[in-house]
Each structure stands twice: as C-alpha cells, then as structure tokens.
Amino acid sequence: MGPLAVTQLLGLMSLTVALDNGLLKTPPMGWMAWERFRCDVDCKSDPQNCIGENLFKDMADRLAEDGWKELGYEYVIIDDCWMSLLRDKQGRLQPDPYRFPGGIAKLARYIHDRGLKLGIYADMGTFTCMGFPGTTLDKIEIDAQTFASWEVDYLKFDGCNSNPVQQMLGYPLMSKALNDTGRPIAYSCSWPCYQGGLPPYVNYSLLGDICHLWRNYYDIQDSWDSVLGIVDWFSSNQDDLQPAAGPGRWNDPDMLIIGNFGLSVDEARSQMALWAIMAAPLIMSNDLRNLDNSARAILQNKMAIAINQDPMGIQGRRLLQESSRIEVYWRPLSHSASTLAFLSRRTDMPYRYHTSLTKLNYEPGNYKVYDVFNGSILTRLNATTEITISINPSGVVMWYVLPEQQSKQTEIPQPQMASQFFH
C-alpha cells in the first residue's frame, strides 16, 4: 500500500457514520434489470428487451399500474451496460446516447412522476464487469455528484476490476461522497462478495455503518440449483451473517427470479418464502410485461411481503435439517409473532412431515397459525399437539404463528385477506 493509500485509509477512520439518511428501515423492494435482461445492448434488432430507456419506462409503468407500487415495490434499478464507452469532457459518466436518448435525469423524472424511485449501477474498478467505464478512486466524488444531479435514488456499486486495497478505500469513500451530495441515496455494496463474504475478511460492523445493503455471495442464476446454493451458503454461515442484518443494513442474497424460466410454481413459492425469512431485499428481475398469474400471485402475496417487511428487521435462521430432507426455517416477528417455513429438498413426491411447535422450541400454550400460500387457518393449536404437514417436492409450507393470547390483546395491521385471523 502506497503513502497516498495509507493517508486516505487513515482519513477514513475519522469518518462519521456515512449513511445517516434514514433509508431502508425495511428491506428494499422493486425491480432490477440484470438477471432477466443481462447486457442486451442491441436496441436495433431487439428494441423491446435491450438495456435502454424504453425498457425501464415499461417496467415503471407496470409497477405503477399493476398493483406493485401499492405493495411496496418502488425501485426501478438499472444494472450494468447503461453507459457510453467514454466519459464526457468533464470526466462524468454518461448514458449511451442511442439507447438513452433522453438521458438519465429525464428517465428519473418519468419514474418519479409515477411515484417510484430510480436506481443505477456503477463499479468500483477500472471497468464495470461488462467492460464499461468504471469508477476509480479519483472519480468517486464526481460520480456521486453526477448521480445526485440526475436525482437517482439508489446506487448498486459493484467491484469488478478492482483489488482489495481499492475496495477498502473506495466503498467507504463512495458512502461519504453520496452523503455529501445531500440527496438521500440508498447504497448497495458488492464489497463482501469480492472478499469471500465472511469474517475476518469482511467487517460487517463497518459495512452496516457505510452501506444499506450488500451482496454477500455470487450472482443468482435462473435455476433452482442456484437458489438452493445461495440458501445453503447463507444457512451454513448464518451465525456470522444473521447478526449483521437489521433496519437500514441488510444481507442481500440477490434477485427474485420468480416469473422467468427456471423455477416451477412450488420452487417460486420456496424462493419467496426463504427470502422473506432472510429479511432479504425483494428485488425482482423478470419481465413484468409478460408475467403469468401464478408468478404474480406469489410475488404479490401480501402476507409474505408483510413478513419480509417486519419492522423489527431480524433475519431468520435455519432451525433443522432432517434426514428426510425436510428443512425448517424460523424468523421472529413483531407482536410476539413468528414465521416458520418447511422446505422440502426431496424430488420424489409430497412428504408428510410430523412435528409440533414444542419440538420447534415454542413456549407452552395455544397458537393461531395462518398458512401464507393457501390461506388456511388453524386456531387453538396447542404447542404440544402433533401436526402433520404435507410438503411438495422442492416446495414450501410457510406459516405465520401468533400466540393466541397475543392475538386477542394486540391490534395487528395485516393484509385484508387475513383480517379474520388477526382480530
């Protein structure tokens, strides 16, 4: 590390909490381009799907008009490949003029006019992952100012083509630069992913001070194997990862791929349930213009969203891995409630899983249980009562669990479809 880097690093030690802007007290929700549309820049022959302003206007229209915004899906996030290959004469990033003829500021106004927020992508390195201009240390301040001048609301800051020292300097510097603009901008850091995702190489206390959320692990792909790989990594390392999360500071297992090509309906429900348990960002990457009813129902499930957005912000955990290949996940929620997810890793047939709330460490007493995906209700379920749950292959059964006494005493605002259960 050279003298300049040492000086900058020492300067970082005196930074105040960099992102004191009150954003993302619950996990962010919205839509992002990458997993579904990748780096399609061919707007001449593929104008409907290329990374250009029309794609993001289309998705903003769908979020605003198809019931997504009212559920909390508010961010429209541009990923890699939006840029021109050269910065402008003042050294600023600029969008590709053919694919974004109106510029980013005009696109931001379009999105804001619909009650939504705009996210954008940059990379802490010499080039982005796909070879567009990166943000080197000397460009951090001007890039932050540029994004603020465009009225951007969210920055995903990747880390391709940078080294650990540059990342150690650059991620905190970008946090400070964003704060110094005076514009509240949510800040998503990819730093942990490039450092292996775990202590001692990743300092999650520092991350929680400078970033609102962070990518811990590899990119999600459009497959059930990819979803399971991410869930396994997060669960295997939950003792390190779970305490790092909370209001304004979230682990990010990457995008929801529900509605694309790789998941069955049961697998899609499983991803939604597990992301809700993990207090993960609910950032869809799909084509909202061509979404089937089953995918829409899963992504718009009000109870799953309410669980994900619980204001306590405690990330859940995997409780059990049974020899039957059934796994049990649990998350504590507000008002003494909790959620359970019973996941089948089987591939043969529906499995009848036998358990009780007592076996899952619940206190003695009676409970009310609401099934998140089929809407059924169990009342006066005693903690000791043996229960049998049928779980489809690669599927999930997800419960919202509330002590019966608490359900009588507490007025809990919940989705209308469950109102009979909570009052």
Segment 308-344, tens digit of pLDDT? 999 999 999 999 999 999 999 999 999 999 999 999 9
CATH class of this structure's domain 3-308:
alpha beta
- What is the C-alpha to C-alpha distance for residues 304 and 56, in angstroms, rounded to an integer? 26
254 is catalytic: no
- What is the C-alpha to C-alpha distance for residues 73 and 92, in angstroms, rounded to an integer? 30
Domain residue spans of the chain: 3-308, 317-422
Given the residues 80, 153, 158, 252, the one annotated as active site: 158
CATH class of this structure's domain 317-422:
mainly beta
Given the residues 219, 222, 240, 266, the one annotated as active site: 219
219 is catalytic: yes
- What is the C-alpha to C-alpha distance for residues 70 and 115, in angstroms, rounded to an integer? 10
Q: Mean pLDDT across the stretch 183-191?
A: 98
Before 164, cis peptide (omega within 30)? no
pLDDT tens, position by position, 58-71: 999 999 999 999 99
Q: Which amino acid is at 186?
A: A
pTM value is 0.94
Strands 75-77, 29-32: parallel, antiparallel or unpaired by DSSP? parallel
pLDDT tens, position by position, 235-260: 999 999 999 999 999 999 999 999 99
- What is the C-alpha to C-alpha distance for residues 62 and 72, in angstroms, rounded to an integer? 13
